[in-house]
Structures are given as C-alpha cells and as structure tokens.
Amino acid sequence: MTTATAKPGIILIAGPYRSGTDGDPERIAANLVRLEAASWPVYDAGHVPMIGEWVGLPVIRAADEAGRDPEHDVLYETAGRLIAHCDGVLRLPGASAGADRDVELARERGIPVYTDAADIPRAG
C-alpha cells in the first residue's frame, strides 16, 4: 500500500459496464454494482470516487424525456469529459472498450492510472 500523502482528489473508476452483457439489464446492473464496490476503497483513501455512469445515465434519461437523441455515446463522452477533472483513474479488471479509452485519455493527459485501489496515494 502506498503511504505517500496526497491532496484529496477525484478518482474515476473505470471498468466493464455494458461490455460482456449482451445487453442483459441484470448483467449490466451487476457490473454497476462491481464499479460501485470499488468506490469505498477510493473514499476510504481520502478521495472522491467517480463513476461515469453516475453522471451519464441521468443525462441519457433527461435526453430521452426531452425527445432528444444524442449524436454520440453519452456514457463514453461523459467519462471523457470527467477525466479532464480527475486526479486519477482506477481501472478495474475486465474487457471494456470504454474503460480502455478512459485509461488512454488519462495517460495522454498525464493522469495516473491505478489497477489496485491500494496503490492510490492516501490523502492527508
């Protein structure tokens, strides 16, 4: 476990959401539960956990209610926008084109990518 002290930051949790589900709502929900389970270790390390779906899903619902059909994938776009405000990305295991894209964007911007929450520097 990293013992360095960092300022509190926002850590994007990236992993499978729709990937590998064949569109099955129960499997998608189970993936969200796995993403959310990773929020506690991030929070416990003194940071604010963020999951793109927490922001993107309400946007999709609002667009639907307004009769709008976004011309892009809202979940991918939301995560991309969030990364600009994040201090790190926690990449969970599992195949996911979206999570791989998040990691790529983070690395392009010099944002640290972690594969284990224990490696995220504790905020102090």
- The model's pLDDT over 48-107, given as tens digits with 9 standing for 90+, comes to 999 999 999 999 999 989 998 877 789 889 999 999 999 999 999 999 999 999 999 999
Tokens standing for residue 75: 């979940």
String of b and e for 63-94 (b: at least 16 CB within 10 Å)?
A: eeeeeeeeeeebbeebbbebbeebbbbbbbee
Helix H or strand E segment including 50 = strand 48-50
Tokens standing for residue 41: 């270790």
Three-state SS at 91: strand
Instruction: Tell whether the torsion through CA atoms of 14, 15, 17 and 18 is positive or negative.
Output: positive
* Placement of tokens 């949790």 in the chain: 13
Residue 3 has pLDDT above 60, yes or no: no
Q: What is the DSSP letter of 122?
A: E
Beta bridge pairs of residue 123: 6
Structural domains of the chain in order of their starting residue, each with its CATH number? 8-118 (3.40.50.10400)
Q: What is the pLDDT of residues 4-28, one digit of tens each?
A: 567 899 999 999 999 999 999 999 9
Position 104: which residue type? E
CB 13 within 8 A of CB 49: yes
